[in-house]
A and B are shown apart, each in its own frame.
Chain A
Amino acid sequence: MEPMEARYDVVWPRSPRGVQQRQSADRLDTLAGKRVAFLWDYLFRGDELFPVLADQLTERFEGVEIVDYAEFGNLHGADEKQRVGRLPDELRSRHVDAVVSGMGC
């Protein structure tokens, strides 16, 4: 008779999520007449796509205003955390209603 092979009761190698899920912001009824800010990490052809998006939104929604990504600077790189940390105040001070952020590739 073969000897009994050892058995193991093992624990989970992960750990709990300390981050609590938060409520996202309320969505808008329409983009008409709203201020939409573009935020860019200066990567992956955002300089070509954001102007296209600006044209599309302007065509589709009357009175929409675009706040260009240049107003916020490059949101990637050495001072990324500081720049992103300032964003809530910068967005509020510009009376921004909605944000489009890119580019993640």
Chain B
Amino acid sequence: MRASIAAESAGIPSVSIVCNGFAGQAGATARGLGHDGLPLAVTIGHVDTQSAEEMTANFIDSTVDQIIEGLVGDGPLADADNAEPAALDIVASGTIDEINDHFSSKGWSDGNPIIPPTHDRVERYLDGSGHDPWKTLGVAPSSGRDFTIWSIAVNAVMAGCRPEHLPVLIALTEILADPAYGSEHSGNTTGADGLILLDGPNASALGFNSGPGVQREGVHANTSVGRWLRLYLRNVAGFTAEEHDKATFGNPARPVLAEDHECLRTIGWPSIGEQLGFASSHDVVTLARMNSGLLIGSVFGSTPEQIVPYLANGLARVSAWDLTHVHGIGTDQYQPLLVVSPLLARTFANAGWSLNDVQQALFNQARITARAFERFIGDWTNLSAGHPQLTDLVAEGALPPVFAQSDDPDRMVPITTRPERLLIAVTGDPNRANAYTFSNDGPHGWWTAKRIDHTPASDLVCNVSGRQ
């Protein structure tokens, strides 16, 4: 849709070819980008499940006429009914059960009970923050809705977040507004979901758990902030099934994965925020969308040499379709995450291994055959045009030479382009020898970090009611 809109902005009529399951999202995307009603040419069914003959016949019988009609004749008709409530309008009144039923029926809830966002409660949430409620941090590229401080606070109240978490929510919103993150892809069909990582000197004081059960519900800060992200994506970015969310399966909201700051400082390893360029003195929140997760359970060994092969095996096993982000859908944007318990991290550190040493060892050992890699990026998924061979991609300069050290299809090749593409976080029960891996969704929620600024804002703190 974005290419079509670029054409329209140049005064050139366009039509976009979409599979029928994508038509709703395409229409919502066009509306969010200011081109409501832009012509679509819809295929019969999904092209990936059809024979070449069937797909071609369907295309000629149905789609070609739509393409012509979209380019010739009358222009697109926008939906004239754009009436929506204002920010301070009362949209429902009732008991807590009635409010929850109303929000569920409108698609404004995640299905769990919400705290009713009354005007007073939202205003109290912002009291003392110094933020102008109407300040905009950007526009959701999916829905075209403003990322306002007020909307952050409304959804924070609903999720049960505490006011001291507002700086974290603002930093997360800045990530959603950052083009590098690509929040507009948050509803792609493969259904990845955001993983929030957080570290810094103040993380513990804010109540974030980085110990046992770090990804379980149960600790208020981790759980409510993770829930807020899903609510905010739903309500402001428009990721509902009726608009932009086309997840085939999806995942539950993930509690915040807070890193073990004390362990990191003790062993001298950088946090994820530091690995992405921030100073150790800053509180930093990081967001990336994750496709798959895989437990590396009961890691056995007292030396790095004994531990690395199993961790590397886990990274290789979690990496499959995701390799299309090395080449295909993404371009050098496969950057999986390895989460190790503090016990495992200390085993490395006690042997004198830096985080870079671990990354290099994992890069050397987390490998699959070239044959398997080529299947994942081409034969099995058809997401890399022309089903390229790795040797050809290296010859073109699209991949580094390590992918073509011979032309033997059974040679072992890495899962990322370089060691630094393997991120490592330290958290969880400090006395357990377990690890976990996540495969990331490349440009569809790319690793993006922002500093958490706890300084009260000096914006005009206005009379909220006076702005209605």
- A residues with a Cβ closer than 8 A to B are 5-22, 24-31, 36-37, 39, 41-49, 52-53, 56-57, 60, 74-81, 84-85, 87-89, 91-92, 96-105
Q: Which residue of A lies closest to B7 (CB)?
A: A99
Across chains A and B, the number of contacting residue pairs, with CB separation under 8 Å, is 267
Q: With A15-B146, A31-B72, A52-B59 known to touch, is A45 a contact of B47 (CB < 8 Å)?
A: yes
- B60-82 with Cβ < 8 A to chain A: 60, 64, 67-68, 71-76, 78, 82
Asked whether B12 lies within 8 Å of A91 as measured between CB atoms, the reply is yes
Asked whether B10 lies within 8 Å of A49 as measured between CB atoms, the reply is no
Q: Which residue of B lies closest to A48 (CB)?
A: B52
- Complex formed: what's the CA distance from A21 to B31 in Å? 7
**Distance in Å from the Cβ of B133 to the closest Cβ of chain A?**
11
- Complex formed: what's the CA distance from A74 to B84 in Å? 38
Asked whether A87 lies within 8 Å of B385 as measured between CB atoms, the reply is no
Asked whether A16 lies within 8 Å of B84 as measured between CB atoms, the reply is yes
Which residues does chain A contribute within 8 Å of B14, judged by CB atoms? 25, 98-101
Q: How many residues of B contact A (CB 8 A)?
A: 101
- B residues with a Cβ closer than 8 A to A are 1-4, 6-19, 21-22, 25-26, 31-38, 41, 43, 46-48, 52, 55-56, 59-60, 64, 67-68, 71-76, 78, 82, 84-96, 99, 103, 108, 116-119, 122, 136, 139, 143-148, 150-151, 154-155, 158, 179, 189, 231, 235-236, 329-333, 382-386, 443
Q: With A12-B85, A105-B22 known to touch, is A99 a contact of B91 (CB < 8 Å)?
A: no
Asked whether B88 lies within 8 Å of A99 as measured between CB atoms, the reply is no
**Distance in Å from the Cβ of A15 to the closest Cβ of chain B?**
4
Asked whether A19 lies within 8 Å of B117 as measured between CB atoms, the reply is no
Asked whether B59 lies within 8 Å of A49 as measured between CB atoms, the reply is yes
Asked whether B6 lies within 8 Å of A12 as measured between CB atoms, the reply is no
Can you name 9 A-B residue pairings with CB atoms under 8 Å?
A12-B154, A15-B145, A17-B84, A21-B82, A24-B8, A25-B75, A39-B4, A43-B329, A84-B3
